[in-house]
A and B are shown apart, each in its own frame.
Chain A
Amino acid sequence: SYELTQPPSVSVSPGQTASITCSGDKLGDKYACWYQQKPGQSPVVVIYEDSKRPSGIPERFSGSNSGNTATLTISGTQAMDEADYYCQAWDSSIAEVFGGGTKLTVL
């Protein structure tokens, strides 16, 4: 079965840039999306199709996907961005798979 690997945690200082990676075999050949989940809340999509932002998502969220790695980048990280982030891969050959999640701490 297809697997996606994320670092368990990432820390960043307010105003700095946070990068969260998601690794999977030939992930760059598939579409990746990213969800933000705050404690006690449902996930919210912040990036879809590798790099596109849904309406209402701040411009500081961006994404890329190439080779075996997709990356979510948060520029000018704010305290409100502290959350768990999950990547997800989409491809007709696999069921929709989630990464293990990354806890972003803003300190």
Chain B
Amino acid sequence: QVQLVQSGAEVKKPGASVKVFCKASGYTFTDYAIHWVRQAPGQRLECMGWINAGNGKTESSQKFQGRVTITRDTSASTAYMELSSLRSEDTAVYYCAREAVDYDAFDIWGQGTMVTVS
């Protein structure tokens, strides 16, 4: 079935970087965009950026520009999100989500990756 499987929980020190992967299966990876969304404890969902898995074009939210790098490996049907210069406020669950091709919404979500900065 169509699914996105993310890497496991991470614990990082302030100032370090974290790289989360999102492996797609059950569909043609390059036909869709993958977005990264985070949710800090008790907070709203927050878009970080996205990548067109077909042509590799990326865009990131102004809030994260300079700190977030989104890439993909088409041979592995996997998208990656790396966040640098981590601080305690980056403690959150990080989700990848597929943008539906026929409508404006995220139709498939990964299970989430908990990143703790401490």
Contacts and interface: CB of A to CB of B under 8 A. Distances in A.
A43 B45 contact: yes
A86 B45 contact: yes
Contact of B44 (A48, A49, A101): A101
B27 to A, nearest CB: 15
Nearest to B106: A45
Nearest to B47: A96
SS class of chain A's interface: helix, strand, loop or mixed?
strand
Interface residues of B, number: 20
Contact of A88 (B105, B109, B111): B105
Given A97-B47, A101-B44, A42 B112 contact: yes
A25 to B, nearest CB: 18
Given A86-B45, A95-B47, A101-B44, A49 B104 contact: yes
A90 B99 CA distance: 11
A49 B104 CA distance: 7
B106 A43 contact: yes
Contacts, number: 52
Interface string B10-42: 000000000000000000000000010000000
Nearest to A6: B44
B35 A96 contact: yes
Contact of A48 (B103, B111, B112): B103
Interface in A15-61: 31, 33, 35, 42-45, 48-49, 52, 54
Interface of A: 1, 31, 33, 35, 42-45, 48-49, 52, 54, 86, 88, 90, 95-101
11 contacts: A1-B62, A42-B112, A43-B97, A43-B109, A45-B100, A45-B106, A49-B104, A90-B105, A95-B47, A99-B44, A101-B45
Given A99-B44, A100-B44, 9 more contacts: A1-B62, A35-B45, A42-B95, A43-B95, A45-B100, A45-B107, A49-B104, A52-B103, A96-B35
Interface of B: 35, 44-47, 59, 61-62, 95, 97, 100, 103-107, 109-112
